[in-house]
Amino acid sequence: MRASQKKIFLNIAAIFMVAMFFSCTNDTKKVRDFLADKNLPIATGKHVFHVYKDSGKVTSKLIAPILKDFTNKGHPYNEFPKGIKIVTYDNDGRDSTTITGNYALSYTSTRVSEIKGNVIVFNHTNQRRLETNQLFWDQREEYFFTEDGFRVTSIKDTINGFGFESKQDLSKWLLKDITGEVEVQKEGL
C-alpha cells in the first residue's frame, strides 16, 4: 500500500508541476517594456566575436568582452562597456583598418557609433595611425569625425590638433587647429 501511495503523490506532484509550467507565460512586449523602464538591456553577450559578410566575403569582425543590447529602447543601441575592437578587411581579405577603444555605443537605426577612451584607428596599408579620446563613426558613409584632441602619425609625419574628419581608411582628411611636422615634396609647393 505504501508504494501505491508514493506513486499517487508523485503523479499528483507531476501533474501540479506541469500545470504550473503551462500557466506561466510572459507577453514579450510586457517583458521588453519592463526592461526598458528599468534601463536594463534585453540581452547581454560575453566574449563577443561577430563576423560581418557581404556577398560571401568577410568585410569586418567585431570583438568585445561584453555587449549589452538595448534594442528595446525608443532609439535602439548596443553598448560595449568594456571596450571594442573592430577589424575591417579589403577586397583581397587583408586587414585594412583596426579600430579599438575602451567604451562604445552603436546606434542601430542611424549606424553611427561613438567610441571613447584611448581610441586608436590604424590603417594597415599605409601605416597611418589616429589617436583620440572620442571618435564618431558613421558606418553608412564610412566616415570618422571628432572635435576632441587628436594625433595622426605615419612613417614620416606627426600631426596634432583639435577636430578631425576623414574617410574610414584615414584618407581625405579635414584637420582643424593643427600643429606638427609634415614632409612635403617640392612639387607640392
- Percentage of the chain surpassing pLDDT 70? 73
Residue 62 C-alpha from the chain's centroid = 7
Select from 104, 100, 120 the least CA-distant residue to 112. 104
116-119 own/partner pairs: CB under 8 Å, 24+ apart: 117/83
Q: What is residue 125's three-state secondary structure?
A: coil
Q: How far apart are CA 168 and CA 140, in angstroms?
A: 10
Residue 56's contacts (CB-CB under 8 Å, 6 or more residues apart) are none
Q: Residue 28 has which C-alpha cell?
A: 514579450
Facing residues of 49 across strands? Answer: 63
pLDDT over 90 at 122, yes or no: yes
- pLDDT confidence band for 156 (50 / 70 / 90): confident
Facing residues of 130 across strands? Answer: 121, 152
According to the model, what pLDDT value does residue 71 have?
84
Please report the sign of the dihedral spanned by the C-alpha atoms of residue 90, residue 93, residue 94, residue 95: positive
Q: Residue 172 has which C-alpha cell?
A: 581625405
Facing residues of 164 across strands? Answer: 146, 175
Mean pLDDT of 116-135: 94
